[in-house]
Structure 1
Amino acid sequence: MEAFAIARVQLSYASIIATPAGAERFATAFYTALWSEATGIRDLFPAGMVSMRQRFATAIGWVINRLHEPAPVERFLGQLARDHRKYGVEPVHYRIAGNALLVAIRECTPPILWTAALERTWAEVLDRVVETMASAAATDDLPASWGATVVGHERVLPDLAIIRLETDSPIPYHAGQYMSVQIPQRPHMWRYLSAAIPPNPQGQIEFHVRRVSTGWVSPALVGEVAVGDRWTIGPPLGGLHVDFDSGEDVLMLASGTGLAPLRAQIMEMAMRGNNPRVHLFYGGKYPCDLYDLETLWQIAMTNPWLTVVPVVEEKENPYWNPVPVKEPPPGLHRTMYGKLGKVAAQFGSWADRQVQISGSPSMIRTTLYALSAAGTPRGNISFDPL
């Protein structure tokens, strides 16, 4: 597709999601059009659609902003199509969804921008999206989901748990990926969690979960899950990885449980012979938020390619978790203070590094801004949209 056509579509989508209310209106318009396109489709989706609408607008935005990068877009759409198999979505449903998406775009684009030429361009883009997803769903020979049993549940903080499972058969994910999970305490509500350990032949997997006070699922994950519970896990998603062939060193930035996909990669790298240098900035508001810092220190002490930089905004722990603040072992980097992105940007542009960011959406946005302002090329930076 020509650069002018791509820019026209991107401008159109930017006008749709210029505000949070606009993004919500767009997602609502899409699902309303989808339900009316054919009977029975609504039954494939959960009753509560708030988080799904949010993820929908985010996913569409990620694709539109990368139309000039066909390979990663095709990979992302293929993963998304395989993930939707767990709902019972069939390849034929994607054509219906494409029609509904065009209706929603037409409805939500300001009339002054909508032209016959723009509609043709959008139709071309959506045709490619539909065909890519339908083909990926039709040719996938993996299960739509896997069963797993909880074998460990540890509350490492009042609002954070480490959950260990054994899957009925190994899930073919790579370190850095995430998966959707459904738990018996919240049936029909899927949530995305990143694997915190690399894959292994025994089918063991570990998730790190922080409770969100307004969330539907995370409070149950932290406070109600018990050993012996049976989970359903969807196909692996995401593209965070280290390119060992590039010859470039690596910068990783994680806050809170965003550490999980980076931790899995570091653990896998520790089993290799040769690795690029890795600088990991691990941040949180309080020292106790760096819940897995001792594990990282242990890896760093035996792997000189890894540098771990703890970053916190407050020097002391809060009154509700008044545990002693741990000091780093001799020879390791001492704790730095401030916002994670700003602290990392103090060291320069990192323009010669592969960069991965993992954390909350707001953390990713602010860190992207800080690194970009310091001169880090956006093309060097990777993060998962969902």
Structure 2
Amino acid sequence: MVGLIRDTWAKSEPFIPEISQFFYGMLFTLAPATRDFFPINMEVQRGRLVRALVHIVQMVDRPDDLVPFLTQLGRDHRKFGVIPRHYEAVGTALLASLKNHLGPDWTPEVERAWAEAFTIVARAMQEAAAADVNPASWSATVLEHRRLTWDLALVRVQPEFAVPYQPGQYMSVEVPQRPRLWRYLSPANAPREDGGIEFHVRAVDGGWVSRAIVSHTQPGDVWRLGPPLGRLAVDRADDRGVLMIAGGTGVAPLRAILDDLAQWGENPKVQLFYGGPSREDLYDLDELRALAATNPWLTVTPVIEHGDEAPGCVQGTLAEAVTQQGSWPGHRILVAGSPAMIRATVSRMLVAGSALDQIAYDPFTID
């Protein structure tokens, strides 16, 4: 089954835009109510479908990774009001889309493989959704919106009820300026007694939501937060050292972990490489250096790609800076940043000799 799925997916990739358009057209015909789950402009959503499918196909032979991902996906979809017949419509639309574009390559064997795979995916998601006793989403009021740079904002929100997230996790966010268009954000702080959450948001090119947050969010706005997702974490009982690699606002989930660790007297040794194109992009460096100054278990290494050398900064990409020190045996490795940064860094580390099971990262998307 795995071979057939990967082979046909590879043949489908040149037709991804057409397959996505056909899929949503078929889905909205089979289940018209699902149209209300999505934004008016479907451009971003089509890309998200493709990224999710790619991620699932990549993990189809790694159930230990796939099942947790599907579990979180199922919990996250509760916020849309998804019910079993919607899954049936999605499966029918997906298979019809692939069949329409694969032509003679869509054999009965291929159809059975995809049908079996989708059944496994849908079952895992539905079981996770049914087992979740938490709210499907939380309302949160914006308390503070502060521009850190022209394209970067710090936003503090106060949920009506505490969101049960763990340091390092992320959650989907819907803002009033972009209804039905969800974006993943990582809390930059460990859970607090008052339930407050801090987000760091950079406006990215073509980012409908991120640009709206940076430019138009105001105190008093009410956001919707989806359930916490992701598996970035540090187990304090594990004696291994921890290597953290953060690009840009990818520092937020790692900062939340550090915020949590700082509450304890003893921790594993943590080395954080924090990088960006220039010194100005390392907006949180002063705070991180202050944290390291009072916590001897933490070392912070800033990395800049361009511009004049800055005092205390390593020149180059994060991938280069980290692998110059070897393959980091005996370390847990956490990577957070843009999809491109994660791909480049993880690939370089694998070539350098790091083991895949050392490395943790989430399938984060930015828009």
TM-score band, normalised by shorter chain: over 0.9
What secondary structure is seen at the aligned counterpart in 2 of 1:192?
A: strand
What secondary structure is seen at the aligned counterpart in 2 of 1:137?
A: helix
1:171 aligns with 2:171: no
2:243 alignment counterpart: 251
1:180 alignment counterpart: 172
Which deviates further from its counterpart, 36-45 or 156-165? 36-45
State the shift of 1:385 in Å.
1.0
Contact in 2 for aligned 1:16/1:110 (Cα 8 Å): no
2:121 alignment counterpart: 129
2:254 alignment counterpart: 262
Contact in 2 for aligned 1:91/1:135 (Cα 8 Å): no
1:365 aligns with 2:365: no
Whole-angstrom distance in 2 between the partners of 1:269 and 1:25: 47
User: Which structure 2 residues correspond to residues 281-292 of structure 1 after superposition, within 5 A?
Assistant: 281-292=273-284
More helix per residue: 1 or 2? 2
Whole-angstrom distance in 1 between the partners of 2:27 and 2:331: 43
Whole-angstrom distance in 1 between the partners of 2:300 and 2:321: 13
1:10 alignment counterpart: 6
1:95 alignment counterpart: 88
User: Which structure 2 residues correspond to residues 1-386 of structure 1 after superposition, within 5 A?
Assistant: 5-17=1-13, 19=14, 22-109=15-102, 111-112=104-105, 114-316=106-308, 327=311, 334-386=312-364
Q: Using structure 1 for the length normalisation, give the TM-score.
A: 0.89
> Which amino acid is 1:28 matched to?
Q
In the alignment, structure 1 segments of 5+ residues that lack a partner are 318-324, 328-333
Poorly superposed stretches of 4+, deviation over 4 Å: none
Give me the identity figure in percent. 44
Contact in 2 for aligned 1:13/1:109 (Cα 8 Å): no
Q: Using structure 2 for the length normalisation, give the TM-score.
A: 0.93
State the shift of 1:309 in Å.
0.8
Contact in 1 for aligned 2:38/2:45 (Cα 8 Å): no
State the shift of 1:32 in Å.
2.2
The superposition leaves residues 67-105 of structure 1 with CA deviations (integer Å, 9 ceiling, x where unpaired) of: 233233222212212212222222331122122222223
Give the root-mean-square deviation of aligned CA atoms.
1.9
State the shift of 1:186 in Å.
2.1
Which deviates further from its counterpart, 28-37 or 284-293? 28-37
State the shift of 1:285 in Å.
0.6
The superposition leaves residues 242-285 of structure 1 with CA deviations (integer Å, 9 ceiling, x where unpaired) of: 24444322211111111111111111111123322211110011
Whole-angstrom distance in 2 between the partners of 1:40 and 1:361: 32
